[in-house]
Amino acid sequence: MGDIRKIVILSNTGESFPIEEERLLKEEKTELVITKFGDIQSIQDLCRKAYVVAFSDAKISKEVIDSLEKCHLIIRYGIGFDNIDLEAAKRRGIAVCNAPAYGVIDVAEHTIALLLSVSRQTVAYNSRLRGDNWSVAMDNPTFRLNRKVLGLIGFGRIARNVALAAKALGMEVVTYDPYLDPSFIGQFGVEVLSLEELYHRSHCISLHLPLSDATRNIIDRRALKEMQEGVVIINTSRGGLINLDHLVESLEEGQVGGAGLDVLPSEPLPMDHPIYQYKNVVLTPHIAWYSQESIVALHHEVCDDIVRVLRGEEPINRIA
């Protein structure tokens, strides 16, 4: 008889995971541990003997990875993986996976929702109407998306769905993505530009990038000054892609005409931050991925790769 393979799920709240309980405990010689976590030491203690470590918001640092004695898989409930030390995992020969597909439609729809909220000022109008103010005039006027240029920085799965929706609204869509073949992008009816060209041509810009040393603060003061006056910035990817202080400067100067942000550099963002004072900025609490359907899909997507590893197969969503 071989050793029992422990699957540890690090949970923020300690809630139940019925899909995992149903699917993973069917596999031979498995034990499922669902637990809250604290500091690095607590994560080390909880995961030391784990065969699989699954998590969402924990930081899986080099110290954590070096303490793992039996681990074959580290898997994140989500797309981003900047909270995992990939090099440390590679050195240890531990597979690392994310869950890139579960919320593609949800994030794409939320991106378009933010774009429409900024262009039509729906949040501001809703707030005013509830104060019995039925006035049409706004400090920040509404505008049509039809015949505007939408620039997508990154053209992965989410951006492709955004492009299809934006084109249905009559927008022209352009993109910058140095990692994809332009002929592939062209199949979507999207023009490939340099980053500078995209800044110059786009009325609206949406970010669809992972966070890395190369992309952190990619939208900074210099980039914002390259853009059209009145540009709208949408970010449903990672908060660290935008230098928020520089964005506030550009909003104050009128260089940026509005923004829709589902992600911020620190979450929760302190309530005294000046970004909150701008009525042409729509903020949501990192929920672009969230829907009844996406929650179920996320749990199944993670289970799919855990099951593959338990059966000695290669996981589909391996990133390291």
Nearby residues of 296 by Cβ (< 8 Å), 6 or more positions away: 19
Place of tokens 């109008």: 125
pTM across the whole model: 0.93
Per-residue pLDDT tens for 183-237? 999 999 999 999 999 999 999 999 999 999 999 999 999 999 999 999 999 999 9
Which residues are known to be catalytic? 238, 267, 286
Average pLDDT over residues 154-166: 99
Q: List the domains of the chain with CATH numbers.
A: 5-102+292-311 (3.40.50.720), 104-283 (3.40.50.720)
pLDDT band at 12 (very low <50, low <70, confident <90, very high): confident
Q: Which of 239, 241, 229 is nearest to 283 (CA)?
A: 239
Q: DSSP state, 268?
A: S
Q: What is the distance between the alpha carbons of residues 103 and 282, in angstroms, rounded to a whole number? A: 21
Distances (CA, A) of 197 to 120, 186, 227: 26, 17, 9
At 318 the pLDDT is 98
The yes-or-no verdict on residue 1 having pLDDT over 70 is no
Q: DSSP state, 262?
A: S
